[in-house]
């Protein structure tokens, strides 16, 4: 297998210097009488070396688009000897990357290059931590499937998503695919003779015993065990025709091209299929729809519902829906959805569903909230982001879009000039269920929006559930980022222990918002701009632990706003609980310090005064056991006012 790894590791040694009060430019607050200088790696840029033991960075090293990942738990595929070659990994599927027409990871099967012959398509990769990936497909070591000349699939197998069916023990891959053009040469063909390829988009279904493939086109034979058995709608599923065909199955005159299939199995076992009706000969927008599935191959057409439409806050059924749910006229649009920045046009695509039970703080009622995500506009649009709509109690709506910067999870921001077009992705949980991550695909050139030429590249950013005053439970993205971030905690053996500390602050002026210092959130969009700690002048922030803790890294996240951003961290001081085993510098004192960590000016936008979200002063060092950590800040980038803001503090340890 070819192993794809991005690992820039900074090796550093520790040098100890005894210091005393008054040394260095560290503000005017009181200093300890004695301390030793703790050597640490503090470089932080968007391209240089970093400590890869604890951190990762979105360096655009893996080309992929429309990404989807699933975690396969250990033990699912154990053989008679107790061996499991598949469990404990995330598996990543996506649209084959195509940069300048190179067709990366798409190869002809064998030596025959005739396009009418079978060909390998769609890569699959796996990873333990969402950072280091290896190709692992069953064909040629990287591809998941191959299609045949005698099937309905002609080309364009894209945006694949995979779900595991507990009933059959099989993996089902749903993707969009182009059918052949029905020129009469294929008897019984149910797809159209349209010159517009958008009219020939269908949901394709593939089936496999393993997450790596081989995925074969699903049929009545390999699903029901009988090639002549019809699905629950009475239709025999074969390789010759699309299994889900709105135009043919419903007897419609109009074309009904479909992309971006997203399967979702709810907590009660009911499966839903979300998809986009695509622009075509007789349709001029891209909207998200949903419906129930009777089984893995059988759509419940009676439940099909338009859920999200570009340019509107909501979509609701009217009296025509029961007779013609496929018509736009069977729905009423809510208010116009006005964007403060960017254009989404008429396109909303890339559906993805997350559901969570929670208790509403205002009403005390326990509800199941559904978050149907979408991506606005087209993939060459800077504002092609990952946004959310919300609905309580029903996975088929009515879904409502919050205002723009509340809706956006990862991507859209007028301050974002380095990680654009990160939409059409997915959310995954860490194996222990404690963390969530968004996997998306940002464009390779932040100023020229041409995904075909510059590619779309895998990015990973953390996501949280938060409680908001206006909307209640929402999803909140710590991203997009292009600076170092902590890896998945369960994989690096440490976690952020700052939320477990008691925080106290002393400053030469007023301060507020102490609760935001260790809430694990840094501000990425304007809607949450006040979720930051604010202070004036010389400020000491102390995080005290109830018992000694072992720490190895500290990140102090800067303000979202340029007007309040600090220019450096004067110092980080540690009150040690014990002498480190590695200490050999002579006289020992119980205070260690890292002095003068400059905020990297790369993280200030060159086009206008803005701080890139998720950027921090970072220090990593050999493990020390501490009772408390104190951070000193006094200097600003912009000096017109005295107010300084800190977005978050992360302390990695255990």
pLDDT digits (tens, 9 = 90+) for 313-363: 999 999 999 999 999 999 999 999 988 766 666 689 999 999 999 988 778
pTM of the model: 0.92
CA 267 to chain centre: 22
The pLDDT value recorded for residue 639 is 83
216 near 144, Cβ under 8 Å?
no
3-state secondary structure 441-482: EEECCCCCCCHHHHCEEEEEEEEEEEEECCCEEEEEEECCCC
**pLDDT mean across residues, the chain:** 88
The pLDDT value recorded for residue 608 is 65
The pLDDT value recorded for residue 384 is 85
Would you kindly state where each structural domain of the chain is located, as residue ranges? 3-55+491-653, 58-482
Segment holding 246, helix H or strand E: helix 246-249
The pLDDT value recorded for residue 120 is 67
Taken in order 222, 226, 229, 232, the sign of the CA dihedral is negative
The pLDDT value recorded for residue 463 is 98
Long-range contacts of range 6-11, CB-CB < 8 Å, 24 or more positions apart? 6/56, 6/57, 6/59, 6/61, 6/131, 6/132, 7/52, 7/132, 8/48, 8/49, 8/50, 8/52, 8/57, 9/49, 9/50, 9/51, 9/52, 9/53, 10/41, 10/43, 10/49, 10/50, 10/51, 10/52
Segment holding 496, helix H or strand E: strand 495-496
Question: In 278-347, where do the E strands start and end?
Answer: 287-293, 305-308, 315-317, 331-333
In this predicted model, what pLDDT tens digit does every residue of 476-512 receive, in sequence order? 999 999 899 999 999 999 999 999 999 999 999 999 9
- Non-local CB neighbours of 236 within 8 Å, separated by 6+ positions: 220, 227, 228, 229, 230
Q: Which residues pair with 4 in a beta bridge?
A: 133
- Alpha carbon distances (Å) from 232 to 293, 295, 296: 10, 8, 10
Helix, coil or strand: residue 215: strand
In the chain, the percentage of residues whose pLDDT exceeds 90 is: 70
Which class for 153: exposed (0-12), middle (13-18), buried (19 or more C-beta within 10 A)?
Answer: buried
Helix, coil or strand: residue 184: coil
CB atoms within 10 A of CB 551: 22
User: Which CATH fold topology does 3-55+491-653 show?
Assistant: Jelly Rolls (2.60.120)
Q: Where are the alpha helices (DSSP H) in 484-629?
A: 489-492
> Which backbone phi and psi does 509 adopt, to 5 degrees?
-130, -165
**Rounded to 5, what percent of the chain is helix, strand, coil?**
5, 40, 50
The residue count of the chain comes to 654
Q: Comparing 305 with 418, which gets the higher pLDDT?
A: 305
In the chain, the percentage of residues whose pLDDT exceeds 70 is: 87
CA 423 to chain centre: 9
The pLDDT value recorded for residue 101 is 40
Confidence band, pLDDT 50/70/90 cuts, at residue 429: very high
Confidence band, pLDDT 50/70/90 cuts, at residue 14: very low
Judge: domain 58-482, CATH 3.40.50.11540.
Answer: no
84 near 74, Cβ under 8 Å?
yes
The pLDDT value recorded for residue 415 is 65
467 near 473, Cβ under 8 Å?
yes
- Non-local CB neighbours of 261 within 8 Å, separated by 6+ positions: 159, 161, 174, 175, 176, 203, 273, 274, 275
Q: Where are the alpha helices (DSSP H) in 476-544?
A: 489-492
Burial 432-470 (b: 16+ CB within 10 A, else e): eeebbbbbbbbbbebeebebeebbbbbbbbbbeebeeee
Q: What is the C-alpha to C-alpha distance for residues 50 and 12, in angstroms, rounded to an integer?
A: 11
The pLDDT value recorded for residue 606 is 64
552 near 55, Cβ under 8 Å?
no
Q: What is the C-alpha to C-alpha distance for residues 327 and 159, in angstroms, rounded to an integer?
A: 25
């Amino acid at each position: 297998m070819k192993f794809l790894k991005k690992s820039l590791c900074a090796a550093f040694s520790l040098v100890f210097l005894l210091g005393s009060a008054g040394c260095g430019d560290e503000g005017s607050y009181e200093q300890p009488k004695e301390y030793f200088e703790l050597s640490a790696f503090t470089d932080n840029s968007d391209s240089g070396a970093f400590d890869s033991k604890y951190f990762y960075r979105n360096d655009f090293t893996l080309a992929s688009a429309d990404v989807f990942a699933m975690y396969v738990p250990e033990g699912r595929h154990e053989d008679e000897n107790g061996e499991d070659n598949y469990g404990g990994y995330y598996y990543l599927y996506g649209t084959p990357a195509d940069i300048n027409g190179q067709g990366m990871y798409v190869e002809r099967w064998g030596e025959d290059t005739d396009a009418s012959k079978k060909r390998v398509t769609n890569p699959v990769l796996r990873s333990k931590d969402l950072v280091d990936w290896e190709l692992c497909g069953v064909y040629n070591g990287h591809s998941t499937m191959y299609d045949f000349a005698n099937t309905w699939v002609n080309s364009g197998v894209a945006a694949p998503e995979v779900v595991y069916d507990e009933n059959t023990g099989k993996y089902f891959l749903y993707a969009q695919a182009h059918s052949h053009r029905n020129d009469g040469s294929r008897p019984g063909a149910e797809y159209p003779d349209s010159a517009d390829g958008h009219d020939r988009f269908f949901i394709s279904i593939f089936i496999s015993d393993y997450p790596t493939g081989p995925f074969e086109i699903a049929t009545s034979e390999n699903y029901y065990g009988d090639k002549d058995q019809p699905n629950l709608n009475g239709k025999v599923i074969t390789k010759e025709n699309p299994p889900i065909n709105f135009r043919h199955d419903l007897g419609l005159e109009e074309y009904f091209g479909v992309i971006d299939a997203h399967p979702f199995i709810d907590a009660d076992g009911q499966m839903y299929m979300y998809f986009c009706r695509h622009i075509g000969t007789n349709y001029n927008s891209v909207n998200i729809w949903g419906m129930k599935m009777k089984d893995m191959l059988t759509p419940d057409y009676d439940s099909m519902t338009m859920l999200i439409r570009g340019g509107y806050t909501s979509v609701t059924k009217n009296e025509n829906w029961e007779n013609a749910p496929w018509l736009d006229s069977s729905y009423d649009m809510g208010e116009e959805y006005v964007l403060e920045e960017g254009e989404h046009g008429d396109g909303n695509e890339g559906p993805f569903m997350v559901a969570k039970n929670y208790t509403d703080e205002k009403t005390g009622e326990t509800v199941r909230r559904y978050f149907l995500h979408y991506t606005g506009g087209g993939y060459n649009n800077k504002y092609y982001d990952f946004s959310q709509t919300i609905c309580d109690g029903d996975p088929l709506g009515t879904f409502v879009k919050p205002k723009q910067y509340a809706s956006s999870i990862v991507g859209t921001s007028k301050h974002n000039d380095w990680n654009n077009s990160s939409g059409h992705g997915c959310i995954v949980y860490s194996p222990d269920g404690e963390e969530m991550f968004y996997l998306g695909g940002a464009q390779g050139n932040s100023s020229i929006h041409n995904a075909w030429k510059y590619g779309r590249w895998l990015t990973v950013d953390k996501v949280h559930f938060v409680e908001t005053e206006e909307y209640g439970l929402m999803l909140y993205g710590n991203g997009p980022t292009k600076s170092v971030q902590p890896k998945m905690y369960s994989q690096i053996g440490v976690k952020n222990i700052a939320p477990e500390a008691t925080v106290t602050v002393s400053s030469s002026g007023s301060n507020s918002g102490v609760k935001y210092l260790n809430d694990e959130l840094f501000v990425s969009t304007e809607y949450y701009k006040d979720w930051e700690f604010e202070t004036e002048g010389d400020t000491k922030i102390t995080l005290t632990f109830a018992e000694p803790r072992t720490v190895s890294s500290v990140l102090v996240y800067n303000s979202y706003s340029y007007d309040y951003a600090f220019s450096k961290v004067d110092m980080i001081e540690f009150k040690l609980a014990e002498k480190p085993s590695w200490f050999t510098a002579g006289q020992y004192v119980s205070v260690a310090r890292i002095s003068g960590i400059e905020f990297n000016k790369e993280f200030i936008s060159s086009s206008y005064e803005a701080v890139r979200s998720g950027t921090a002063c970072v220090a990593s060092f050999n493990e020390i056991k501490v009772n408390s950590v104190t951070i000193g800040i006094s200097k600003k980038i912009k000096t017109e006012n005295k107010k300084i803001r800190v977005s978050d503090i992360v302390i990695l340890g255990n």
